[in-house]
Amino acid sequence: MALEKLGKALNNALRKLARSGTVDEATIKEVVRDIQRALLQADVNVKLVLQLTKTIQKRALEEEPPAGVSRKEHIIKIVYEELTKFLGTEAKPLEIKEKPTVLLTVGIQGSGKTTSVAKLARHLQKRGYKVGVVCSDTWRPGAYHQLRQLLDSYGIEVFGDPNEKDAVKLAREGVEHFREKGVDVIIVDSAGRHKEEKGLIEEMKQISEAIKPHEVILVIDGTIGQQAYNQALAFKEATPIGSIIVTKLDGSAKGGGALSAVAATGAPIKFIGVGERIDDLEPFDPKRFVSRLLGLGDIQGLLEKIEELQKQQEFKEEDVEKFLKGKFNLKDMYAQLEAMQKMGPLKQILQMIPGLGYSLPDEAIRVGEEKLKRYRVIMDSMTEEELEHPEIINYSRIKRIARGSGTSTSEVRELLNQYNQMKKMFKSMNKRKLAKMAKKFNLGGFGV
Ligand SMILES: Nc1nc2c(ncn2[C@@H]2O[C@H](COP(=O)(O)OP(=O)(O)OP(=O)(O)O)[C@@H](O)[C@H]2O)c(=O)[nH]1
């Protein structure tokens, strides 16, 4: 797995948060410090780390979690969101629009460029594209044989000539050769070394002009950590870099530094190399990458649920105001109980997240569901006036409601008791406490 060490350290920080009793300022600061340490050890640039952790800390301290979401979950969401932003937010997949699409790969010697060309060719072949590879590396004759060795067995043709000294000519002829063959994608591997760096960049420019690639892909060695920033910038200035492959993220202690540094240049990372085998290439999606890195089971599911909740805003500000003024009727109670019920699936999602096992007893939801159905039946037998002003429900009304709903007077009383308890509780609360309770309430914390 990519960035295993960093992932473990970040996961530990979040687990510590999940285990802590209360989430106060000191806890948040400790978690932020742990995250800081983890990132610095992965060679992420100090300035970037400070910026990121400052934002996480500020948001964690200032933002109020939406109803139905605990502070801990909210902080996890913040960490996830900020780390994702840090790595570019949206996935930018490689697009094959035209036939043939010509890709030119560049990068310095030893970056893993030749291996990545083979991996990319295989990746595209697996997706149904007919691929041709051109080796225009005239400085390292071994590159041609290396590509053939990697690709012959997959039936992917490699065009090249180890004796040819003109890289531009080779690239042009190679592209022409595969155009005639009618392939879908042509990948041109360029030289990674030269007598001097200026020469390398110059050759890259000449090849680029000769074959007019749809996209130039820069291959960067992930083990160089934050130095990747300057390298990515230098190439970006010389050619219009369309995308980047960061290699060797398996087992590299500095991979986090390389990924964040490349993302900081604004060039999209489209793939990452995660091993020496031909299949060890992964399309890069910051969201998926970060949730896997953090080891958070189904965080995507959790986020969707939180979003849905935010939209629904079951427990609105105006409700809180209303309840505080003692205006809380049976309809309100039902709406709140219903909101609690909807939290069922969230509870399951929360339990899927390691270290966040929610402490709600199962019966709270199950009993709640059954009771809610009975309450619905009872309430259906009430008049509008009774629902709005439950205090008018006297004994003869209770008898009528029980008869009409096919329940017993004690069940109707139970509903009214529940209502009175809630109303009393709301009355005795100040606004802050109520907002806090609301969250619990939506999670079924009333022991219904
Ligand atoms: N562990 C690991 N090794 C990789 C990865 N990608 C490439 N390598 C290894 O890195 C070494 C250098 O890779 P090459 O592809 O030969 O390097 P290059 O950049 O083409 O080098 P030149 O052809 O000299 O420019 C090889 O031993 C590869 O097996 C990766 O994602 N993970």
Maximum pairwise Cα distance, the chain: 104
Contact 282, 271 (CB under 8 A): yes
CB 364 within 8 A of CB 448: yes
Under a CB-based contact definition with an 8 Å cutoff, are residues 335 and 312 in contact? no
Structure confidence at residue 445 (pLDDT): 30
Distance 114 CA to ligand 1 centre (A): 7
Q: Is 111 annotated as a binding residue?
A: yes
* Amino acid making up residue 427: K
For residues 177 and 98, the answer to whether their CB atoms sit within 8 Å is: no
Q: From the CA of 109, how far away is ligand 1's center (Å)? A: 9
- Report the C-alpha gap between 321 and 327 in whole angstroms: 9
The more confidently predicted of residues 296 and 61 is: 61
For residue 222 and ligand 1, the question of a CB distance below 6 A is answered with no
Tell me if 112 is assigned to a ligand binding site: yes
Q: Which pLDDT band holds residue 337 (cuts at 50, 70, 90)?
A: low
Q: Is the CB–ligand 1 distance for residue 64 below 6 Å?
A: no
Give the contacts of 220 (CB within 8 A, at least 6 positions apart): 107, 111, 228, 231, 232, 244, 245, 246, 247, 258, 262
Tokens of residue 411, six digits: 């069940």
Once rounded to an integer, what is the mean pLDDT over residues 319-342? 68
Of 23, 106, 66, the closest CA to residue 313 belongs to: 66
Tell whether 108 is in a known binding site: yes
Q: How confident is the model at residue 195 (pLDDT cuts 50, 70, 90)?
A: low
Q: Is 191 annotated as a binding-site member?
A: yes
Reply yes or no on whether the pLDDT at 403 is more than 90. Answer: yes
Query: Tokens 């060797």 label which residue?
Result: 248
38 and 86 Cβ atoms separated by less than 8 Å: no
166 marked as part of a ligand binding site: no
Three-state DSSP string of 181-239: HCCCEEEEECCCCCCCHHHHHHHHHHHHHHHCCCEEEEEEEHHHHHHHHHHHHHHHHHC
| Mean pLDDT for the chain overall | 81
Contact 150, 142 (CB under 8 A): no
* Minimal-distance CA residue to ligand 1 atom 14: 112
pLDDT at 237 over 70: yes
Any idea what DSSP says for residue 390? G
Q: Which atom of ligand 1 is nearest to the CA of 272?
A: 31
pLDDT band, very low/low/confident/very high, at 140 (cuts 50, 70, 90) = confident
CA–CA gap between residue 320 and residue 434 (Å, rounded): 7
**Binding site membership of 248 for ligand 1 (Cβ less than 6 Å):** yes
Q: 68 a known binding residue?
A: no
Q: Please give the pLDDT value at position 373.
A: 80
Q: Residue of the nearest CA to atom 21 in ligand 1?
A: 110
Alpha carbon of 273 to ligand 1 centroid (Å)? 9
109 labeled part of a ligand binding site: yes
Give the Cβ contact number of residue 255 at 10 Å. 29
Ligand 1, closest atom to CA 117?
15
Q: Is the CB of 250 under 6 A from ligand 1?
A: yes
Report whether 318 contacts 353 (CB < 8 A).
no
The 10s digit of each residue's pLDDT in 11-34 is: 888 888 878 878 889 999 999 999
Q: Which residues pair with 102 in a beta bridge?
A: 186
Interhelix angle 362-380/344-352, rounded to 10 degrees, is 170
Across the range 168-176, mean pLDDT stands at 95
Q: Which of 106, 109, 111, 115 to mutate to test the pocket of ligand 1 (most atoms within 8 A of CB)?
A: 115
* Ligand 1 pocket, mutate which of 224, 276, 282 (most atoms under 8 A from CB): 276
Residue 250 annotated as part of some ligand binding site:
yes
Q: What is the ipTM for the molecules in this complex?
A: 0.96
Place 219 in a pLDDT band, splitting at 50, 70 and 90.
very high
Query: What pLDDT does 212 receive?
Result: 94
Number of other CB atoms surrounding residue 341 within 10 Å? 17
Whether 112 is in the pocket of ligand 1, judged by its Cβ within 6 Å, is yes
3-class SS of residue 65: coil
Q: What is the mean pLDDT of residues 247-267?
A: 89
Residue 96 C-alpha to ligand 1 middle, in angstroms?
25
* pLDDT tens per residue, range 24-77: 899 999 999 999 999 999 999 999 999 999 999 999 999 988 777 778 888 988
Phi, psi (degrees; rounded to nearest 5) at 52: -65, -50
| pLDDT reading at 199 higher than 60 | yes
Could you list the beta-strand ranges (E) of 260-364.
269-273, 281-283
Query: Per the annotation, does 280 bind a ligand?
Result: no
Residue nearest to atom 5 of ligand 1 (CA): 248
Query: What is the position in ligand 1's atom list of the atom closest to the CA of 251?
Result: 1
Q: Which amino acid is at 362?
A: D
Higher pLDDT, 438 or 131: 131
Strands, E assignment, 204-327: 215-221, 241-247, 269-273, 281-283
Per-residue tokens: 381: 């037998």
What is the pLDDT, as a whole number, of residue 366?
A: 42
- Give me the domains of the chain, ranges plus CATH numbers: 4-86 (1.20.120.140), 101-284 (3.40.50.300), 314-442 (1.10.260.30)
Of the listed ranges 2-6, 162-166, 243-247, the one predicted with least confidence: 2-6
Q: Is 320 in the pocket of ligand 1 (CB under 6 A)?
A: no
DSSP-derived letter for residue 165 is -
For residues 279 and 289, the answer to whether their CB atoms sit within 8 Å is: no
The atom of ligand 1 lying closest to the CA of 137 is 23
pLDDT for res 363: 37
**Mean pLDDT of all residues in 396-420:** 91
CA 154 – ligand 1 centroid, Å? 19
| 66/69 Cα distance (integer angstroms) | 6
Joined together, the tokens standing for residue 184 give 């879908």
List beta partners, residue 281: 273
* Ligand 1 atom 6, closest CA: 112
| Position 175 pLDDT exceeds 60 | yes
